[in-house]
C-alpha cells in the first residue's frame, strides 16, 4: 500500500528548494494528500483560489518533485472539498490504511488583562470614535453596522493613549459574551518571531516543531484576530505577503480583524500598497491626547478602582504635568502614593507630589521649545521664520525634522501642540519627522553628530 503522506513529505522536501519560503508557506503547506487514483496523487486545496494558484504556478514543480521520489506516482491533481465526491472510494481506502494521527493539542485562549474593560475606560472627545467602534465590534464581531463596515477596525494614536486598553476590552467582552468564538491577540513582534521560527523549522520537519502548517493554522483558524503595533510590519516584505493572504482569507470568511498602530496606514513607510488598501478598507479610528478635564477624570477613575486617596490639588497638579501620555499619568499617581507610604504620609499633598516626582521634571530646568528651535536655527544658520514655514528646501526640511525630534525627546508636549509650533502641522507629520530622525541617527553618523552638537548647545 502506498504511503501518500510519506511520499508527499519527500515531494515537499524537493519543492522547498525550488520556491521561496513565503510561497511554500502560502501554497504548498496548505495542500493535503488525500488519495491516489490511476497513479495520480490527489491533493486537497483549502480554497478555489488556492487550487487555481497551485495549478497555474506550481503544478509542474510538484510533478517534477514527485518524480524524484521514485514512487509509482507519475502525476498530481489538485481539488477542493466540493470535488471530493469524485474520489469517494479512493479516499475511503486511503483512510482505512492510514496510520492513526494524534489529535492536535488545543490552543489556550489568549489571556486578556482583566482590569481593561469598557466600563473603566475614560471616554472623551479625543477617543470617543475609537471607543464606540470598539464596543460595536465586540458586540457584533465581523458584521457591518448598517452601511458602515468596521472590518477591519484600525485604531491608531501615540504611545500610552489607550489603544491596548481598547484591545483588551474587546477581548474581555467577547470572551465573556461570545465564548464560542476563538480570539487571538498578537503583537507584531510575536507574529514576526512565529514567522521566523516557521521558516527555520520547515526543512527539519521535526515532530512537534512550529512549522508553516502550524503558523497557518494559528493565524487563520480564528474568529477574531487582533494585531498590535502593525507599524512594525514596515520593511518586512515576506511577512507582509503572509499577512496579506491571512487578512484576505479571514475577511472573506466574515472574521473580525482589529489592528493598532502609532500612525495611520498612509504614514507606515514601505508598507505594500495592497496591504495599506486592506488596512484602510474598514474604519480608521484615531486616539488622541486627552484634554485637562479628561486627564482629571482618568486620575479619579484610577483612584476609585484601586481605592486610592490624594488631595484635589495633587489631582490637578498631575493632570497639568502629564498631558500627553495616559500611561505616564497613571504611573505618576502610583509613584506619589508609593512615596507617601514610604514617608508615612497616608494622604499626600501637593508638596509630597512634587518631591516624589522631582526626577520626572524636564532634563533641563527652564528648557522650552523656543530654546530648542533657536539652537537648531543657529546650528544650521537658518531663520526661525523659515523653520516653521511651509518651505520644503532640503536644508530647511532637515533642520525642521531635527527640531521636531529634539522637542519630542526633551519635552513632554502633546503632538498637536508641537504641530502648532511648526505652523499648524498635523500630528501625523510630527510622528513622521520624529521617527525618521530617530532612525537616521542610528544609521547616519552625521545626523547623530548634529543632534549631539545641538544638545551640547543646550548644555545637555
Q: How far apart are CA 37 and CA 43, in angstroms?
A: 11
Q: How far apart are CA 195 and CA 193, in angstroms?
A: 5
Cis peptide upstream of residue 152 (ω within 30 degrees of 0): yes
State the average pLDDT for the chain.
83
| Average pLDDT of the segment spanning 368-388 | 89
Walk me through the domains of the chain, giving residue ranges and CATH numbers: 4-97 (3.30.300.180), 128-286 (3.40.50.300), 292-360 (1.10.8.60), 369-457 (1.10.1750.10)
| Average pLDDT of the segment spanning 403-408 | 92
pTM of the model: 0.61
Q: Is 229 strand, coil or helix?
A: coil
pLDDT of residue 209: 58
pLDDT in tens, 229-286: 898 888 788 888 888 988 988 988 889 999 999 889 988 888 889 999 999 988 999 9
Residue keyed to cell 486610592? 308
pLDDT in tens, 425-446: 888 889 899 989 988 888 888 8
| Average pLDDT of the segment spanning 118-143 | 89
Q: Is 333 strand, coil or helix?
A: helix
pLDDT of residue 1: 61
Closest-CA residue to 231 (of 159, 160, 290, 166): 159
pLDDT of residue 360: 59
| Average pLDDT of the segment spanning 77-104 | 76
- Using N-to-C axis directions, what is the helix angle for 394-410 and 445-457, rounded to 10°? 60
pLDDT of residue 146: 42
Residue 106 pLDDT grade (very low, low, confident, very high; cuts 50, 70, 90): very low
Residue 105 pLDDT grade (very low, low, confident, very high; cuts 50, 70, 90): very low
- Among the residue ranges 98-107, 150-159, 217-226, 340-349, the one predicted with the least confidence is 98-107
C-alpha cell at 447: 545626523
Q: How far apart are CA 170 and CA 181, in angstroms?
A: 12
**Could you tell me which residue, 247 or 106, shows the higher pLDDT?**
247
The total number of residues written for the chain in this structure = 460
pLDDT in tens, 188-225: 888 888 888 777 766 554 544 556 777 878 888 899 99
Give, in order, the Cα–Cα distances in Å from 15 to each of 27, 275, 284. 11, 28, 41
Q: Is pLDDT of 457 > 70?
A: yes
Three-state SS sequence of 194-222: HHHHHHHHHCCCCCCCCCHHHHHHHHHCC
Q: How far apart are CA 452 and CA 460, in angstroms?
A: 9
Cis peptide upstream of residue 404 (ω within 30 degrees of 0): no
- Dihedral sign, CA of 161, 164, 167, 169? negative
- Dihedral sign, CA of 404, 409, 413, 415? positive
The arrangement of strands across the sheet holding 153-156 comes to 183-187, 224-228, 256-261, 153-156, 283-286
Residue 102 pLDDT grade (very low, low, confident, very high; cuts 50, 70, 90): very low
pLDDT in tens, 317-338: 888 888 777 888 888 888 888 8
Q: Is pLDDT of 454 > 60?
A: yes
Percent of the chain predicted with pLDDT > 70: 90
pLDDT in tens, 5-52: 888 888 888 887 788 766 776 788 778 888 888 888 999 988 887 888
Q: Is pLDDT of 376 > 90?
A: yes
Amino acid at each position: 500500500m502506498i504511503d501518500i503522506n510519506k511520499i508527499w513529505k519527500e515531494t515537499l522536501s524537493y519543492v522547498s528548494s525550488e520556491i521561496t519560503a513565503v510561497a511554500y508557506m502560502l501554497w504548498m503547506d496548505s495542500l493535503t494528500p488525500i488519495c491516489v487514483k490511476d497513479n495520480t496523487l490527489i491533493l486537497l486545496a483549502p480554497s478555489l483560489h488556492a487550487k487555481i494558484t497551485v495549478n497555474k504556478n506550481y503544478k509542474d514543480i510538484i510533478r517534477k518533485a514527485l518524480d524524484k521520489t521514485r514512487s509509482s506516482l507519475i502525476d498530481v491533481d489538485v481539488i477542493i472539498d466540493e470535488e471530493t465526491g469524485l474520489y469517494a472510494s479512493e479516499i475511503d481506502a486511503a483512510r482505512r490504511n492510514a496510520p492513526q494521527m494524534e489529535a492536535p493539542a488545543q490552543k489556550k485562549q489568549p489571556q486578556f488583562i482583566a482590569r481593561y474593560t469598557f466600563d473603566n475606560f475614560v471616554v472623551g472627545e479625543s477617543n470617543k470614535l475609537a471607543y464606540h467602534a470598539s464596543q460595536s465590534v465586540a458586540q457584533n464581531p465581523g458584521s457591518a453596522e448598517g452601511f458602515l463596515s468596521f472590518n477591519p477596525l484600525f485604531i491608531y494614536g501615540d504611545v500610552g493613549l489607550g489603544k491596548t486598553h481598547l484591545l483588551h476590552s474587546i477581548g474581555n467582552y467577547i470572551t465573556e459574551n461570545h465564548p464560542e468564538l476563538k480570539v487571538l491577540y498578537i503583537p507584531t513582534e510575536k507574529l514576526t518571531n512565529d514567522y521566523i521560527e516557521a521558516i527555520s523549522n520547515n526543512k527539519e520537519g521535526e515532530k512537534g516543531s512550529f512549522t508553516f502548517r502550524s503558523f497557518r493554522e494559528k493565524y487563520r483558524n480564528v474568529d477574531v484576530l487582533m494585531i498590535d503595533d502593525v507599524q512594525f510590519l514596515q520593511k518586512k516584505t515576506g511577512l507582509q505577503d503572509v499577512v496579506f493572504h491571512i487578512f484576505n482569507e479571514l475577511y472573506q470568511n466574515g472574521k473580525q480583524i482589529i489592528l493598532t498602530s502609532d500612525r495611520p496606514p498612509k504614514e507606515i513607510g514601505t508598507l505594500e500598497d495592497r496591504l495599506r488598501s486592506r488596512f484602510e478598507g474598514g474604519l480608521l479610528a484615531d486616539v488622541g491626547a486627552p484634554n485637562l478635564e479628561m486627564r482629571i477624570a482618568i486620575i479619579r477613575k484610577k483612584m476609585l478602582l484601586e481605592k486610592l486617596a490624594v488631595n484635589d490639588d495633587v489631582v490637578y497638579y498631575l493632570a497639568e504635568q502629564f498631558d500627553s501620555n495616559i500611561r505616564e499619568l497613571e504611573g505618576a499617581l502610583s509613584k506619589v502614593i508609593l512615596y507617601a507610604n514610604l514617608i508615612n504620609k497616608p494622604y499626600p499633598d501637593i508638596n509630597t507630589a512634587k518631591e516624589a516626582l522631582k526626577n520626572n521634571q524636564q532634563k533641563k530646568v527652564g528648557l522650552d521649545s523656543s530654546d530648542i528651535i533657536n539652537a537648531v536655527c543657529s546650528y544650521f544658520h537658518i531663520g526661525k521664520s523659515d523653520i516653521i514655514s511651509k518651505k520644503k528646501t532640503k536644508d530647511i526640511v532637515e533642520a525642521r525634522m531635527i527640531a521636531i525630534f529634539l522637542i519630542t525627546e526633551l519635552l513632554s508636549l502633546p503632538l498637536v501642540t508641537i504641530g502648532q509650533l511648526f505652523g499648524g502641522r498635523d500630528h501625523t507629520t510630527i510622528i513622521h519627522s520624529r521617527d525618521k530622525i530617530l532612525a537616521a541617527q542610528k544609521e547616519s553618523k552625521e545626523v547623530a553628530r548634529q543632534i549631539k552638537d545641538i544638545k551640547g548647545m543646550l548644555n545637555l
